[in-house]
Structure 1
């Protein structure tokens, strides 16, 4: 897969200015505090110019009861001018290695997505590891998906117009597992998921690579020193999360079957340690008969579009996400 590894010319000078990776010897609480106070405000400043006019949508925060507590979901609903209008339903899980982030992390992107798609978007603020280790964040997210389905009419949503789950990075991992859970859960029999959006997803723990696919899984070594996400950081995230490496709810590529899942849009970055597991997951879904759409971004690392939203590939990444969601709303056709 080295054809994806030559640095993008617009990205290379930006990469040289980025700070060092966070200290993986630090306590999780220290890293979490730095993320909230330093990194997320920077990401917000990068994204703010993309925001649609606030007259085009409305935002509601709701509390959802989960096992042992409650979480917040932020709902973005388009303003079409028709009070009775209903929209497709999208439920989103943010990234951050199951350890970092909150409901604000992807807030601007999801406001834009809601307006672009004319969809109700539910942004899930699941509880984080290590304070709430595996499977708490997963279970929170799954409960939120069920809550959104149950309350769709109160959110100006209609599942009949589309019901998509999506997420980035660790959120993509949660999304993949949720799609598998929902496929066998009687709750979803009359309200099935119609699509899954997996943006730079985590799909296979590095300690659980199947022998038969080892020749395809080279990016963990090739991109071990990548910017934004390197393998030391990913090991740290896995350690905090505490999910079993060989369990399919940590490594969804290890599910014994991927048949019957909803269509999947997958985005993969060329300089990402997670690149090849994303490519493998797309292959496994496709071979099981799941319609897939794959977009690859050579020469850029994991989540590059958040650090450099104005380069050409970042614009392509965003537009591909919109196109991928539309493809999912059209039934993967």
Structure 2
């Protein structure tokens, strides 16, 4: 269902460092056997048309409230200042933020002039084009196969949907033929370990877990185990952190450093899971986690209910990190790759 691409020439695994910080919970170190370049062929599985159409309908339904507010702007018969003022209010109410709203309005005025548009419906179509172009830099496929394994560290605040997103992502990875290993690095919350174990069982993948252990040590063990078992992907779940909890954010930095002890090139992806309902607060979260951990991408969840969707425009204008996946519900198929034009069409449908 996802556009995963595996490179033809993988990077050979580097020797495991014995000087971890802290020491591995098991003390074991191992190097994965070499992978033949012939085995690393491009494999870009794509969603079936019917699956994607069903997904688009769920996305439209999730964004219906915001979409209705924006669409109402174009129900009149005139293109005048009143229309632009109404659109400005609608975009701000949709959590697009001041900078993105100003950019979209300016871009839309230019497009209307260039196309000599005189019909509000045509102006709406031009807004779809403007929004899709603004969001385009966020559209990027998750790359697998360059490293063996690809190590993904997943972070976010409590309740954002980290563990559920990991479970859904694992499902699609496994369905695409990837050998996945999970690391339960949220070691002090039993419910998190149990939830991740359920996902591991459901997806028939292995998990490295330890009750009350050091999260960094569990992550170290998982990376070394992933290398020795020739896994394609290792995903580390971490405890929820508010960006204002500086001492806890330091623990995430420690996990990142220790992962690099197990594999100097890792983590290869540091993904922040953002609850789409948080609105403009999402920008503060992205900035804080990016400054601390050098994020490589985002997963935006819960784009249904009260989520307004415009926050992606704000991110594109102010913190344009790749949005690998978006989610609109609890089902496995409710997490899909982000496509800018699809999203723009759903938001303005």
Task: State TM-score, norm by structure 2.
Answer: 0.32
Bigger relative contact order (CA 8 A; separation at least 6): 2
Task: State TM-score, norm by structure 1.
Answer: 0.34
If you compute each CA radius of gyration, which structure gives the higher value, 1 or 2?
A: 2
